[in-house]
Amino acid sequence: MFGISPITFLARLIVLLVGLPLHEWAHAWSADRLGDDTPRWEGRLSLNPLAHLDILGAILILLTGFGWAKPVPVNPYRMRTNPRTGMALSSFAGPASNLLLAMVCAIPFRLGLLSGLDIGGTNLATLLWLIADVSLNLAIFNLLPFYPLDGEKVLVGILPLRWSDYLLSFRPYSPYVLLGLLFLLPYLGLDLIGFLVGLVKLPLQMLLFVL
């Protein structure tokens, strides 16, 4: 299908049904624990994939390995903490859940139960490796410092007030910069986002599966 091997498609489908719902549930759960019950009332405190499904994002993750779910509505002003800090914590929880899924996939390798990847094949080792690969892609991509990605909200919460205010002032333009990085630069032959994601992902893969 579209040049995608069955094992790759299966790994992406698992991330769609498990990884993306886990990502959005983590946003919802952390906000709820901080005192904001908005996600609960919106029915997003759930691991049901249908509660978080975005059709375009689902199609893209199956075809490309990159995609998204429906964003969880969060009101940081209802949290029992500084709104920027609360939003940063809730935002970081999503990518952290994807990293956790990658770590779980690595456990059989670390225990010596699995070895011998067969890219394009159908063995369990390959399936877990590919699930971890897509999960790391999602975690790293979402931590990029561009609104509406989680990384921008994390930075707003942890940077000094002056710098975070500057970042907020850039927010109206940030999505256009992100679109340019995602689509325009690759069209011109420069995949900066892919390079940055790969630069971070390779040492993480080594740490999780090899070292």
CA 138 to chain centre: 3
Q: Which residue has the tokens 């333009």?
A: 173
**Residue 208: which of 144, 133, 139 has the closest Cα?**
133
Query: Could you check whether the bond before residue 73 is cis, i.e. omega within 30 degrees of 0?
Result: no
Cα-Cα-Cα-Cα torsion 62, 63, 69, 70, nearest 10 degrees, comes to: -120
| Cα-only R_g, the chain | 18
Catalytic annotation, pick one of 8, 22, 24, 32: 24
The alpha-helical segments, DSSP class H, found in 76-191 are 83-110, 124-142, 150-158, 161-169, 174-179, 185-187
| Cα Dmax for the chain | 52
Cβ within 8 Å of residue 131, ≥6 positions away: 11, 14, 15, 19, 101, 102, 105
- 42 catalytic residue (yes or no): no
Answer yes or no: are the C-beta atoms of 67 and 75 closer than 8 Å.
no
* Residue positions annotated with a catalytic role: 24
